[in-house]
Amino acid sequence: MSAAALVSRQTFQTSDGVSLSILETGREHADKPGLAIALIPGWSMPAYLWQRQIEELGRHYRTLALDLRGQGESQVPNFGYTAERRATDLRDFLQPLSNVLLVGWSLGALESLQYIEMFGSNRLAGLVLVDSSVGEEPAPPPGGTFMQRLRENRDQTLNEFVHAIFKKPRPEDEIESLVRSAKHMALEDSLALLSYPFERTHWRRIVYGFKKPLLYVVTPQFAKQAQNLKKNRPGTQIEVFQTAGHALFVDESQRFNDLILRFADSLYLPRKK
């Protein structure tokens, strides 16, 4: 097996003047036929959580992971924490690219769908939605008291949240780093990201209307949604990670990477083996 691809960090400016950071590898593939893989993290999480994907996928395809506004190494403005603006940030991020395999995890999956709703799918070769409700039945249980607990004790609640996204134990210094990263944005802005004003049917309509290849990768919490989506949207590919946590691409990184490469290869075969 060849060594992991060299990872670089760069920045770009959004259409409303915010500096966002990108981790990138596989740039040597940029001028070759094929596609780019774009990785979108979830609520409050940094792009480097995709590190194992960036390194391995970048051996085969140009691969980029975005720090969304207020997250990771990106600027932390006091505005723009809406679904529409975050989708526009994705538009700005993807603008230099074509033939993109867009991979969105958790909130990043919904923001990827909002991007498609607002700007269409012309730049996309395919879409991967990772462990996020997509408006299919059955509806997930109510969110409980998470937002209230964030207001009451943000440090403890974030620590519990970060621990909970992994099934396999992670080093404590890694947990602490992710908690610090999650606190970059103001509390109220982080809460705004959890309060998008859409009915569940909004996301389902976008998914049903997406006419290109779709892979839905989930843990058991969304397994029934995945089965219904496959039934109701013919051609949908699904994969259930039965023993992984919410960050399944960390818990079972090799399985996830192999899955994404197979899906990518089905879209654009001419990559160097």
Q: What is the pLDDT of residues 158-182, one digit of tens each?
A: 999 999 999 999 999 999 999 999 9
- pLDDT at residue number 32: 55
Q: How far, in Å, CA of 254 to CA of 264, rounded?
A: 15
pLDDT below 50 — which residues of the chain?
A: 1-2, 270-273
Question: Which whole-number Å values give the CA distances from 143 to 138, 215, 252, in the listed order?
Answer: 15, 25, 26
Domains, the chain, ranges and CATH?
A: 8-267 (3.40.50.1820)
Amino acid 33: pLDDT: 58
| Pair 16, 40: CB distance under 8 Å | no
CA distance 222 to 227: 9
Could you read off the pLDDT of 40-88 as tens digits, one per residue? 999 999 999 999 999 999 999 999 999 999 999 999 999 999 999 999 9
pLDDT of residue 273: 42
pLDDT for res 271: 45
* Residues 112 and 119: beta-carbon distance below 8 Å: no
Angstrom distance (rounded) from CA 90 to CA 85:
9
Region at 84 (left for phi over 0; alpha for psi -120 to 50; beta for the rest): alpha
pLDDT digits (tens, 9 = 90+) for 79-89: 999 999 999 99
